[in-house]
Amino acid sequence: MTSRCLLFIGTLAVILVGAVTRASFAIEAGSAIGTNGQVGCGQNPKRLKQLSITTPGVYENLLVDGEWIDSTLVKITADNVTLRRCEIHSGRHNAVTVYAKNVVIEDCKIHHVLSGTYSDQHDAHGITGRPTNLTIRNCDIGMTSGDSIQFDPGRGPWDGVLIENCNLWTAPLADDAAGFKRGERPGENAVDTKQATANSRSRLTIRNCFLSGWNQPGQISNMAALNLKNHVEAQVENCVFQNNEICFRVRGGEGEYGGALVTIRNCAVYDSAVAVRAESDIRDLSIRRLGIGANVRQRLVSAGGGAGQGYENMGEFEPPPIERALKYGLAPRD
């Protein structure tokens, strides 16, 4: 073989290796977990105390400071609305309620909605309501005395909710706020689902999210990042959990509220007491590729019948360090 042929083959190999490397990086970079880019207001936001959205359109770069009013800070009742690059905080009730169709909430920072006290905690949620076709994307939601996201407190009809690339968290308060004291950690769940069997089964997808801090024994029993229950169908994909009492609390059941159908794919848990708590004979629980990271005390806990018919759990793996998991995601690479 001539030196010219060898040179061509070598050059081609370098090109192909470079292409594979770039393709692998693109796949990893595309599945990053948690928020990225700008979250919250840009320069010179419009300041408001409350906002009621009754007309379709795009609402952006708003700073909603409720000044601890005992009322919802942002109410969306119009269809076809986008709420973008906003910061919403300091209320004693819900931050955002959605009673509409085709709504997008993206690049928003929602925090410090606190009702009651640490010893007598009342619900104040980050986002709640009865939406149809709602996307919550690239949002940071924390420091709520209720849940970061809950649908629906009254178990009315809701459907088609997508939560992606969000940080849903709680932590000890840095300062006194409303009825809470510095060092107290507010909150119940990152996501809580409620529904009745009289309505159609609600559908929820959570992907590429970072859920952390839901760990405060003594506040509520069985605190969980995800409390997936009642007549819902939930899919959780490419999510990372850290410092939670329970990462996945998945609940079956019959009767008026029914049980959840839950699918977990390519997720990882770190520094938590329980990875999965299966309750009430939950049926068709499907877990594929759940990474068990450092300092996870129990992989699976069963209660009230545990996992029922159709249960599968396969592909458990040792996940990468959490910093790498957040940067590149958890989906397997070729």
Q: Does pLDDT of 16 surpass 80?
A: no
156 and 301 share a domain? yes
Domain contains 333: no
- Note down the domain range covering 151: 34-328
C-beta neighbour count of 255 within 10 angstroms: 8
Q: What is the pLDDT of residue 332?
A: 87
pLDDT digits (tens, 9 = 90+) for 218-241: 566 789 999 999 999 999 999 999
What is the secondary structure of 316-333 as a DSSP string? -B-PPPHHHHHHH-S---
pLDDT category at 31 given cuts 50, 70, 90 is: confident
Q: Does pLDDT of 211 surpass 70?
A: yes
Domain contains 334: no
Q: What mean pLDDT comes out for the span 92-117?
A: 98
17 and 55 share a domain? no
Non-local (6+) Cβ contacts of 16 within 8 A are none
Residue of higher predicted confidence among 210 and 19? 210
20 and 126 share a domain? no
16 and 44 share a domain? no
Non-local (6+) Cβ contacts of 3 within 8 A are none
Q: What mean pLDDT comes out for the span 242-264?
A: 97
17 and 50 share a domain? no
7 and 112 share a domain? no
Domain contains 134: yes
The tokens of 122 are what?
Answer: 């009342």
231 and 90 share a domain? yes
pLDDT digits (tens, 9 = 90+) for 41-91: 999 999 999 999 999 999 999 999 999 999 999 999 999 999 999 999 999
pLDDT digits (tens, 9 = 90+) for 148-199: 999 999 999 999 999 999 999 999 999 999 999 999 999 999 999 999 999 9
160 and 217 share a domain? yes
241 and 270 share a domain? yes
Segment among 105-119, 192-206, 217-231, 237-251 with least mean pLDDT: 217-231
Segment among 69-73, 115-119, 264-268 with least mean pLDDT: 115-119
Mean pLDDT score of the chain: 91
C-beta neighbour count of 193 within 10 angstroms: 27
Q: What CATH number corresponds to the domain at position 187?
A: 2.160.20.10
Domain contains 223: yes
Please give the tally of structural domains in the chain.
2
Domain contains 121: yes
10 and 95 share a domain? no
Domain contains 167: yes
84 and 12 share a domain? no
C-beta neighbour count of 21 within 10 angstroms: 10
CA-to-CA distance for 89 and 45, rounded, in angstroms? 14
58 and 84 share a domain? yes
Q: What is the pTM of this model?
A: 0.90
Answer for the pair 188, 216: CB distance below 8 angstroms, yes or no: no
Answer for the pair 96, 126: CB distance below 8 angstroms, yes or no: yes
Q: What percent of the chain has pLDDT over 90?
A: 87
